[in-house]
Amino acid sequence: MRSVTPVSLAAAALLAATALLAAPATAQAAPPATHPGMTWAKMADGPDGTVRVGGPGGSPSNPYQGDTPASAVLPVLCLKADGSPVPDGITPDFYAGWAQGTVAASRPVRGSRLNSRNAADSVCQAQFGAGWRMAEFHDGHYGPDLGATGGWTFWAYGTLPAGTRLWTAIDDQRANPWD
């Protein structure tokens, strides 16, 4: 009969514990995103350091099915909504609301990395800090006390590169890389 030593029992226990700790991380890894994602671009510079972003204006954007393959490498349109009041010179409406904050472009990332909304938000948080997230199609507010939301474009503080497509989320359609 083979004898069992305390060292071999300890080694076996350590191996089992290591396997248990490693297994959930592997099981939770989400696959790469494969769906085309919606992208927006800078449309115009506005007053007081504002910028208008959206899909119209000669740049194809598809908020229903996505317009850019997940294999593309583009910046994420990031937003920090902090309740900023509407600056003079902007009159928010359904198609060009006020995002109540600041936008910025992240470093370019492959769309396949955006395999969940949390993954997309984490790109913004890693680069700009707490409170930043991926901008969304309906982030523009308008009406009394900015209580209504619209779509298609919005205004925010910030600067963005001209002629650059930006990954942008949409919550009520299948037009995100993670869909």
For 45-68, the pLDDT digits (tens) are 999 999 999 986 556 789 999 999
> What is the reported pLDDT for 58?
56
CA dist list (Å): 145 to 61, 87, 92, 136, 149: 29, 14, 11, 20, 11
The larger pLDDT score, comparing residue 19 to residue 74, is at 74
Distance from C-alpha of 29 to C-alpha of 147, rounded to nearest angstrom: 38
- Phi-psi region for residue 47, left (φ > 0), alpha (ψ -120 to 50) or beta? beta
CA dist list (Å): 98 to 44, 91, 156, 162: 14, 8, 6, 20
HSE on the CB side for 148, CA within 13 Å? Answer: 11
Share of the chain above pLDDT 70, in %: 82
**pTM exceeds 0.85:** no
pLDDT band for position 10 (50/70/90)? Answer: very low
CA dist list (Å): 23 to 16, 68, 115, 143, 168: 11, 34, 20, 51, 33
Write the pLDDT tens digit of every residue in 84-99: 999 999 999 999 999 9
> What is the reported pLDDT for 17?
41
Distance from C-alpha of 29 to C-alpha of 26, rounded to nearest angstrom: 5
Secondary structure letter of residue 149 according to DSSP = E
Q: Can you spell out the DSSP letters for 3-23?
A: ---HHHHHHHHHHHHHHHHHH
Q: CB neighbours of 52 closer than 8 A, spacing ≥ 6? A: 42, 43, 44, 45, 46, 96, 153, 154, 155
Q: Give the rounded distance of the alpha carbon of 95 from its chain centre.
A: 21
Secondary structure letter of residue 76 according to DSSP = B
Residue owning tokens 């007053």:
47
Asked whether residue 101 carries a pLDDT value surpassing 80, the answer given is yes
> What is the reported pLDDT for 168?
97
Asked whether residue 3 carries a pLDDT value surpassing 90, the answer given is no
Provide the mean pLDDT of the chain.
86
> What is the reported pLDDT for 156?
98
The larger pLDDT score, comparing residue 158 to residue 6, is at 158
Distance from C-alpha of 149 to C-alpha of 82, rounded to nearest angstrom: 16
> What is the reported pLDDT for 59?
61
